[in-house]
């Protein structure tokens, strides 16, 4: 996210009946088996075409959430298959809207799903934490407005018209992510500084500001970085779409899309999408207030987790030890480790799917917040990788939070598909040491792929990549605004910590469309040696890199290692490298 010119941007054990005591097995103290399924709770609003006053209900949620950037409200707005008329669903913070069909075209809204920035004076750079999924839209005026910043995915959507990614008045905007969507008309990013679109079909793309990246997109503009700043890959090497809730008759199920290689276009265009599904009865439907011990009991029983909207406080890690486990959040369900633990840990197993939730660092420092695989994980998961999708991490903003490293990826072949890992630069509990967080993402596993990687404001390295054969398609970064002086970021003999560092021992790595920005507003004289650091060898390759100083608040001397021109004074003009080495 980038600033405006002036400022920027939170059951006890089951009793054994006396008559059975002599013959019952010795199970005293064991918790009663947890049930699967159940209702989705009060903050999941489910509509059908005959629901009265849908617009009023949508407006009421928006009124609560429009400017509640660090509030506690969490909502999911779910639409049963059918056709709806005359709606404008405005989305505020921590609000997800989704259709309940197997295809987006099963649920059609003649109207709009709108994100704008009136709450923030027309500046869309803080329109975080909201999502749209699995709907067809027929926009009222032909074009739907989706003026979002980070952590606001637009997935599995069909827009029967155009899509405008800028706020009214074309103010500042810093997004964004589209996947598995079809936009029949043109997409106009206008003021959007960067954007990533994956495995979709579009009718056209209007312009680019700094870094527009496409992989597997039918209708994408041709490769032309840096002028215009388009990075275009014909296909996405490996992808597997996010799990989603849908209705089969009157039964809720969760659809699990299949893995694709060399993917291009949408998954749902021709009949039933490829994949499998699970009934809701196979999920423990969690509600805020449940303990981590109960969540772990459900997992140990063989249930998956569906996290309904709300905030979940954890006194121990959630442990995902079984292959093919699904942890799916609705309405930005939020995990908070209260006592310095890691919020969630995945074992070295196949096929785990983590999707649709937020991890908020607690006031006691956590060594890590999310661990995908244990240290030393070694198993091959190429045929059935773990996917981490729309899992967002925040340190500070909603209150004091600390974490040494936010996300650690140890499992091989993991796909990190759209994450925003953010050390807060505004809100409550923000300061160079107050929300201390040295590293954003650390990748130790080999063969890891990141598609849509947003990591910002960490005290040291934002991303460190030590695994072999890693790949990143699209990276957006800002260095920490609040460094007090040059000494605070000094990295030995090097001025500052790179935004994205590949470990010295790595022999093979590749990245496409990576950008790092600086806005050192506490001490604008700070110099950052480079945005990217990597061993200089033929197998470590980068395509389409940029660094930019926002209004001259800090400067970069190079783009990657010793290559690339310095940024240019107060002019907010990127310095680029098309190919490295």
Active site residues: 478
Quick one: tokens of 265? 């276009």
Asked if the bond preceding 228 is cis, omega within 30° of 0, the reply is yes
User: What gap in Å lies between CA 204 and CA 162, rounded to an integer?
Assistant: 9
Distance of CA 192 to the CA centre of its chain: 18
Q: Which of 188, 184, 186, 139 is nearest to 168 (CA)?
A: 188
Q: What token pair was written down for 150?
A: 């980070």
**Contact, 303 vs 35, CB < 8 A?**
no
Token pair in block for residue 297: 């009991």
Paired strand residues for 244? 255
Going 462 to 171 to 155 to 469, the CA torsion angle's sign is negative
User: Comparing C-alpha atoms, which of 111, 384, 139, 394 is closest to residue 258?
Assistant: 384
**Using CA atoms, how far apart are residues 211 and 188, in angstroms rounded to an integer?**
14
Query: d(Cα 345, Cα 153) in Å, to the nearest integer?
Result: 24
Contacts of 210 (CB under 8 A, 6+ apart): 193, 194, 229, 515, 546, 548, 574
60's CB contacts (< 8 A; 6+ apart) are none
Instruction: Give the contacts of 25 (CB within 8 A, at least 6 positions apart).
Output: none
Please tell me whether the peptide bond between 498 and the residue prior to it is cis, using omega within 30 degrees of 0.
Answer: no
d(CA 315, CA 359): 14
Distance of CA 70 to the CA centre of its chain: 17
- Sorted by sequence, the CB contacts under 8 Å of residue 492 that are 6+ apart come out as none
The owner of tokens 């063969």 is: 447
For 434-508, strand residue ranges (E) read 439-443, 449-456, 463-465, 470-478, 490-491, 494-495, 500-502
Is the separation of the CB atoms in 265 and 216 below 8 Å?
yes
Residues with Cβ within 8 Å of 508's Cβ and at least 6 positions away in sequence, in order, are 468, 469, 539, 540
Q: How far apart are CA 458 and CA 423, in angstroms?
A: 6
Query: What are the helix and strand counts (H, E) for the chain?
Result: 2, 46
DSSP run (H or E) holding 353: strand 353-360
Structural Rg of the chain based on CA atoms: 23
Q: Which 3 state secondary structure label does DSSP give 455?
A: strand
Helix, strand, coil fractions of the chain, as percent rounded to 5: 5, 45, 50
């Amino acid at each position: 996210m980038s600033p405006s010119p002036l400022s920027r941007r939170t059951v006890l054990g089951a009793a054994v009946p006396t008559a059975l005591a002599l013959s019952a097995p010795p199970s005293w103290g064991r918790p009663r088996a947890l049930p699967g399924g159940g209702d989705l709770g009060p903050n999941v609003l489910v509509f059908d075409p005959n629901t009265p006053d849908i617009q009023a209900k949508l407006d009421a949620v928006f009124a609560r959430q429009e400017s509640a950037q660090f509030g506690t409200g969490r909502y999911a707005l779910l639409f049963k298959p059918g056709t709806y008329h005359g709606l404008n669903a405005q989305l505020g913070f921590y609000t997800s809207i989704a259709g309940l069909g197997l295809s987006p075209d099963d649920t059609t809204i003649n109207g709009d799903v709108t994100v704008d920035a009136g709450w923030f004076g027309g500046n869309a750079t803080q329109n975080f934490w909201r999502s749209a999924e699995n709907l067809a839209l027929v926009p009222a005026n032909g074009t739907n407005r989706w003026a979002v910043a980070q952590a606001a995915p637009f997935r599995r959507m069909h827009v029967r018209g155009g899509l405008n990614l800028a706020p009214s008045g074309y103010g500042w905007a810093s997004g964004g992510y589209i996947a598995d969507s079809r936009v029949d008309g043109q997409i106009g990013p206008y003021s959007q500084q960067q954007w990533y679109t994956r495995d979709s079909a579009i009718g056209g793309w209007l312009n680019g500001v700094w870094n527009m990246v496409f992989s597997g997109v039918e209708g994408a503009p041709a490769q032309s970085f840096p002028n215009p700043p388009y990075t275009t890959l014909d296909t996405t090497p490996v992808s597997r779409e996010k799990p989603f809730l849908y209705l089969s008759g009157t039964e809720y199920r969760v659809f699990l899309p299949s893995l694709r290689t060399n993917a291009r276009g949408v998954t749902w265009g021709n009949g039933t999408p490829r994949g499998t599904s699970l009934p809701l009865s196979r999920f423990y439907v969690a509600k805020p207030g449940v303990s981590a011990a109960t969540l772990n009991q459900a997992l140990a029983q063989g249930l998956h987790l569906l996290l309904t909207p709300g905030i979940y406080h954890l006194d121990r890690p959630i442990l995902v030890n079984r292959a093919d486990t699904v942890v799916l959040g609705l309405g930005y369900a939020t995990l908070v480790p209260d006592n310095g633990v890691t919020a969630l840990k995945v074992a070295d197993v196949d096929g785990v799917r983590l999707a649709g939730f937020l991890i908020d660092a607690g006031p006691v420092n956590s060594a890590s917040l999310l661990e995908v695989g244990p240290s030393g994980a070694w198993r091959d998961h190429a045929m059935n990788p773990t996917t981490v999708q729309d899992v967002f991490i925040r340190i500070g903003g909603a209150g004091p939070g600390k974490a040494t490293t936010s996300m650690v990826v140890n499992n091989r072949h993991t796909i990190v598909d759209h994450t925003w890992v953010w050390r807060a630069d505004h809100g409550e509990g923000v300061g160079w040491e107050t929300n201390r967080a040295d590293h954003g993402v650390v990748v130790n596993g080999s063969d890891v792929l990141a598609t849509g990687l947003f990591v910002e404001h960490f005290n040291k390295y934002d991303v460190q990549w030590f695994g072999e054969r890693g790949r990143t398609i699209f990276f957006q970064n800002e260095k920490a605004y609040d460094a007090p002086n040059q000494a605070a970021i000094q990295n030995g003999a090097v001025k500052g910590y790179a935004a994205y560092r590949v470990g010295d021992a790595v022999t093979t790595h590749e990245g496409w469309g990576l950008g790092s920005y600086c806005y050192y507003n506490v001490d604008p004289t700070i110099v950052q040696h480079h945005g990217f650091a990597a061993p200089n060898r033929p197998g470590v390759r980068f395509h389409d890199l940029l660094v930019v100083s926002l209004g001259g608040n800090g400067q970069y001397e190079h783009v990657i290692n010793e290559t690339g021109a310095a940024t240019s004074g107060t002019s907010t003009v990127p310095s680029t490298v098309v190919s490295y080495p």
